[in-house]
């Protein structure tokens, strides 16, 4: 099952705010984009907005395809 595509849009943000997001993202080993997503989810949760859980990102190498035993 392919992951659902994410909505892309331009975001105008204060440079000092973005710098702070980049610092916290680096400390959490995330990209700035992922950090913004985490912060938005946390803010919505505090406001009582329920969201579906984010689908975990599949990491690592794709499974190896056995070409010797395939019927191709």
Domain of residue 19: give its range.
15-46
In this structure, is residue 54 part of a structural domain?
A: no
Any domain includes 70:
no
pLDDT in tens, 43-54: 999 999 998 877
**pLDDT single digits (tens) 51-72:** 887 777 777 888 888 777 655 5
Report the alpha-carbon distance of residue 64 to residue 22 in Å, rounded: 35
pTM of the full structure = 0.66
Judge whether 3 lies within some domain. Answer: no
Residue 10 lies in a domain: no
Query: Are the beta carbons of 10 and 17 closer than 8 angstroms?
Result: no
Q: What is the DSSP string of 11-26?
A: ----HHHHHHHHHHHH
CA distance 24 to 31: 10
Question: What's the total number of domains in the chain?
Answer: 1
Tokens 């599949």, residue located:
58
Angle between helices 15-27 and 32-46 (to 10 degrees): 100
């Amino acid at each position: 099952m392919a992951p659902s595509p994410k909505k892309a849009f331009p975001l105008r943000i204060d440079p000092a705010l973005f710098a702070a997001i980049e610092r916290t993202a680096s400390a959490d080993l995330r990209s700035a984009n992922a950090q913004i997503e985490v912060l938005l989810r946390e803010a919505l949760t505090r406001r009582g907005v329920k969201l579906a859980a984010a689908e975990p990102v599949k990491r690592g190498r794709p499974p190896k395809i056995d070409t010797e035993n395939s019927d191709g």
